[in-house]
Amino acid sequence: MLELKQSWPDDLAAQYRAAGYWRGETMFGFLRDRALRAPDTIAVVGGPIRWTYGELVKRAEAHAAGFLSLGLVPGERVIVQLPNIPEFLSVVFGLFRARLVPVFALPAHRATEIAHFALKAEASAYVVAERHEDFDYRVLAREVRSQLPALRHVVVIGEAQEFTPLDALPTEGVPLPPDPPSSDVAFLQISGGSTGLSKLIPRTHDDYIYSFRASAEICGLGEASVYMAALPVAHNFPMSSPGIFGALHAGSRIILCPSPSPETAFALVEKERVTITGVVPPLALLWMQAAATTGHDISSLKVLQVGGAKFAPEAAARVRATLGCTLQQVFGMAEGLVNYTRLDDPEEVIVQTQGRAISPDDEILIVDDLGRPVVEGEPGLLLTRGPYTIRAYHNDAAANGRSFTPDGYYRTGDIVSKTTDGYLIVRGRAGDHINRAGEKISAEEIEDHLLAHPAVFDAAVVSIPDPYLGERSCAFVISKGEKPKTIALKAFVRGRGLAEFKVPDQIVFVERFETTAVGKVSRKTLRQNLREQFLKQTPVEA
Ligand code: OOB
């Protein structure tokens, strides 16, 4: 098994410790400390369940014993694919307690993605809930296991069929290991996947805890705060910006919302007196529209965070009037850097910018294509390094070569400009992914799936501006032989075992792709040209 590593140069690590960013806290340790201080405070609410901090810790310890009783040993990787249910927390903190390493998959991921994560991480176990939103995860687990016998255990929350029910695992009698060093990798996050398949992001206890503790401070979280997770909690935004972990660190209450529809979310805001939540721009639009006619009292909501994709200033300007709360723009990435507008920033800053970095030691460089710093205020490529931005992906030398500069900056692929106050404005991006309502889709990954179809000669996938999703995906396809039906081609891609959001929204058949006199144009230029031609012919609706 490959060792999990994430490290910073010694002098910087010493600096981050001296500055008090890295305090030696661990993922399980911080929760245990909270529970010692306030055992009877409610930590998490989901469906009919309400667990106190004390109960959550007890359950996590019981699960830790259960996982170790299966023969898993500290350091082994466990794929966790759970929806917004309280067991997400008890399982994940149980894994932390056992020094097992969660790999966070989204509920939307399917066999191809799970198998890829399992292979790359060399995972030995997989935890799912029996069903969620009419999808049976046992069917998925069966498919993945048949491809990957190394995935020794499948643990199911609910009716387990041939797998291991979480409930049946022993809850004691297995010695638990001592706390890990805080510089250890605590878990693997999944990258948005701008090129090819998603990469695995090793985050340490030190760096991640710093990011969500500081985020909780920026967001004013405290014991009286009620944080609602409306997006899938496995995503970095609702997990740590400040997310469920930041809320627990601050001693707040977490409400797990099963679906982000305004109906469900507003009812929970009213019932649980939610004070802060986070959404992606398309949901913010939907919520603003629904607020006009809702019968629910959402006046407890003080802060609406919006991030994951660019929130148009015109929409941002309407948040306060329609939802009666402060907007906070959040521009972050699972690799590290997160920027926030501050709650007391002038309205213009909140509406027009994507915020400024968490840490005084976040280093931000904005450069041109040749890596030279641009003139202040001008747009350029965003490079960053700092106390919670990774220096390397796990088990992916090629991606590391592309994604990090020799002096350790992460190439975000985002094109931004910076105001004189250090606030970033996202202008676009250099990479070829599609940001579909905050879900990142790699053009290359989808092209490869399309090319696997016998009637596809070539394919180029591009992003098209979309009034609701922000961007949607459009596949330009050259067929060979008989042209397949659009619906059949979409079904084919879906059938390859992919998250539904990756199935092209639109397919356009073309006769050929443009080449230049000197030969083939680059994929990048080809995608750009196709997008431009398409937009000329099909103006985007307002
Ligand atoms: C968040 O994380 P990821 O890893 O799914 O995606 C990161 C990418 C960024 O590089 C950028 O391209 C885009 O998503 N993005 C935004 C944005 N927030 C993220 N683009 C424009 N405006 C924004 N506000 O998406 C993420 C992680 C933590 C907190 C928030 C979002």
Whether 219 and 416 have beta carbons less than 8 Å apart is answered as no
The verdict on the CB of residue 214 being under 6 Å from ligand 1 is no
Task: Flag whether pLDDT at 303 surpasses 80.
Answer: yes
Q: What whole-number distance in Å separates Cα of residue 83 and Cα of residue 99? A: 22
Q: Which comes out higher in pLDDT, residue 525 or 269? A: 269
What phi-psi label fits residue 70: left (phi over 0), alpha (psi between -120 and 50 degrees) or beta? alpha
What pLDDT digit, counting tens, does each position of 488-527 carry?
999 999 999 999 999 999 999 999 998 765 667 788 889 9
User: For atom 22 of ligand 1, which residue has the closest CA?
Assistant: 310
**Is the predicted pLDDT of residue 480 greater than 90, yes or no?**
yes
Q: Where are the alpha helices (DSSP H) in 195-280?
A: 205-218, 236-240, 243-249, 262-272
Provide the pairing of β-strand 77-81 with 226-229.
Answer: unpaired
Atom 2 of ligand 1, residue of closest alpha carbon: 333
Cβ proximity of 141 and 156 under 8 Å: yes
Using alpha carbons, select from 2, 30, 399 the residue that is nearest to residue 194: 399
pLDDT over 80 at 195, yes or no = no
CATH of 434-537, one of 3.30.300.30, 3.20.20.70, 1.10.486.10, 1.10.1130.10: 3.30.300.30
Q: Nearest C-alpha to atom 6 of ligand 1 is from which residue? A: 333
CB 224 within 8 A of CB 272: no
Where do the structural domains in the chain lie, given as residue ranges? 54-180, 434-537
pLDDT value at residue 193: 64
User: How far apart are the CA of 330 and the centre of ligand 1, in A?
Assistant: 8
Q: Whose CA is nearest to atom 3 of ligand 1?
A: 333
Spell out a b/e string for 395-434, using b for 16 or more CB atoms within 10 Å of the CB, else e: bbeebeeebbeeebbbbbbbbbbbeeeebbbbeebebbbb
Residue nearest to atom 9 of ligand 1 (CA): 333
pTM over 0.95: yes
Residue 522: predicted pLDDT: 84
Residue 162 has pLDDT above 90, yes or no: yes
SS (H, E, C) 441-490: EEHHHHHHHHHCCCCEEEEEEEEEEECCCEEEEEEEEEECCCCCCHHHHH
**For ligand 1, is residue 440 a contact (CB within 6 Å)?**
yes
In tens, the pLDDT along 362-375 reads: 999 999 999 999 99
Q: What is the mean pLDDT of the chain?
A: 96
pLDDT of amino acid 519: 67
User: How far is 197 from 444, CA to CA, in rounded Å?
Assistant: 8
- Residue 22 in contact with ligand 1 by CB distance below 6 A: no
Residue 424 CA to ligand 1 centre (angstroms): 13
- Whether residue 84 has its Cβ less than 6 Å from ligand 1: no
Which strands sit side by side in the sheet containing 380-385, from one edge to the other?
Answer: 363-367, 380-385, 410-418, 424-429
Tell me, in angstroms, the distance from the centre of ligand 1 to residue 332's CA: 4
What's the pLDDT score for residue 542? 45
Say what percent of the chain tops pLDDT 70. Answer: 98
- Report whether CATH 3.40.50.720 matches the domain 54-180: no
**Residue ID of nearest Cα to ligand 1 atom 16:** 309
- CA-to-CA distance for 279 and 283, rounded, in angstroms? 6
Whether residue 251 contacts residue 224, with contact meaning beta carbons closer than 8 Å, is answered with no
Q: Indicate if the pLDDT at residue 39 is higher than 90.
A: yes
Asked if the model's pLDDT at residue 541 lies above 60, the reply is no
Paired with 156 in beta bridges are 128, 165
Q: How far is the CA of 237 from the centre of ligand 1 (A)?
A: 8
At residue 518, the pLDDT reads 65
Mutate to test the pocket of ligand 1, among 106, 245, 333, 424 (most ligand atoms within 8 A of CB): 333
- Cα–Cα dist 405/417, whole Å: 20
Q: State if residue 412 touches ligand 1 by the CB under 6 angstroms criterion.
A: yes
Say yes or no to pLDDT of 142 above 70: yes
The DSSP 8-state label assigned to residue 539 in this structure reads P
Place of tokens 């690799």: 335
**Can you give the pLDDT at residue 395?**
96
